[in-house]
């Protein structure tokens, strides 16, 4: 949890007006849709979920929902690598780590088996699958 909060702060430049609420979540402007034209609006939130944080944007035309892990992966691949490394060092919950290994494994498999043309399709499928894995938690 501590590590997650450090990483939320590290990507705060992408999420204007980020601030911690009394409930322990972080409200901010959405870095994905740019949020409302009204500069004081904060439609997005990082909220604690289990032993990590999830991201949500409440704007109807955005409706972004993601784990902190995937937000990092999407926006800051380098930071994501560091994050996964720290999680491993922290001996984080094994299911979390298993998921990561499984998806890495699947990607390696797709890469070695697929022709370039079908690779994109498989990649999309694996992305969907990853999201389902996340939803199941
Ligand atoms: Zn948004």
> What is the number of structural domains in the chain?
2
Asked whether residue 30 falls in the same domain as residue 69, the answer is yes
Distance 115 CA to ligand 1 centre (A): 35
Asked whether residue 84 falls in the same domain as residue 107, the answer is no
Distance 8 CA to ligand 1 centre (A): 16
Asked whether residue 23 falls in the same domain as residue 54, the answer is yes
Asked whether residue 18 falls in the same domain as residue 62, the answer is yes
- Share the mean pLDDT of the chain: 85
Asked whether residue 39 falls in the same domain as residue 60, the answer is yes
Q: Which residue spans within the chain are E strands per DSSP?
A: 19-20, 26-28, 44-49, 52-57, 65-67
Distance 61 CA to ligand 1 centre (A): 7
Distance 33 CA to ligand 1 centre (A): 4
Distance 136 CA to ligand 1 centre (A): 23
Question: What is the tens place of the pLDDT at every residue in 79-90?
Answer: 999 999 998 887
pTM for this predicted structure: 0.66
Asked whether residue 6 falls in the same domain as residue 63, the answer is yes
Question: What is the tens place of the pLDDT at every residue in 86-109?
Answer: 988 876 556 666 677 777 777 777
Residue pair 20/13 in contact (Cβ under 8 Å)? The answer is no
Distance 67 CA to ligand 1 centre (A): 14
Asked whether residue 13 falls in the same domain as residue 76, the answer is yes
Q: Please give the pLDDT value at position 120.
A: 62
Distance 9 CA to ligand 1 centre (A): 18
Would the pLDDT of 133 be above 70?
A: no
Question: What is the tens place of the pLDDT at every residue in 115-128?
Answer: 555 556 666 667 66
Range of the domain at 18: 1-92
Asked whether residue 62 falls in the same domain as residue 99, the answer is no
Asked whether residue 105 falls in the same domain as residue 38, the answer is no
Give the least confident one: 38-47, 48-57, 82-91.
Answer: 82-91
Q: Please give the pLDDT value at position 115.
A: 56
To the nearest 10 degrees (0 to 180), the angle between helices 2-10 and 68-75 is 30
Would the pLDDT of 60 be above 70?
A: yes
């Amino acid at each position: 949890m501590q590590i997650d909060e450090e990483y939320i702060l590290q990507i705060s430049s992408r999420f204007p007006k980020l601030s911690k609420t009394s409930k322990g979540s972080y409200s901010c402007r959405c870095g994905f849709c740019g949020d409302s034209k009204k500069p004081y609006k904060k439609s997005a939130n990082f909220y604690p979920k289990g032993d990590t944080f999830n991201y949500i944007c409440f704007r109807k035309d955005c409706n972004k929902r993601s784990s902190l892990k995937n937000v990092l992966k999407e926006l800051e691949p380098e930071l994501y690598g560091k994050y996964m490394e720290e999680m491993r060092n922290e001996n984080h919950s094994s299911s979390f780590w298993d998921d990561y290994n499984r998806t890495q494994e699947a990607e390696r498999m797709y890469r070695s088996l697929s022709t370039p043309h079908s690779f994109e399709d498989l990649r999309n499928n694996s992305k969907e699958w990853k999201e389902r894995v996340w939803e199941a938690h």
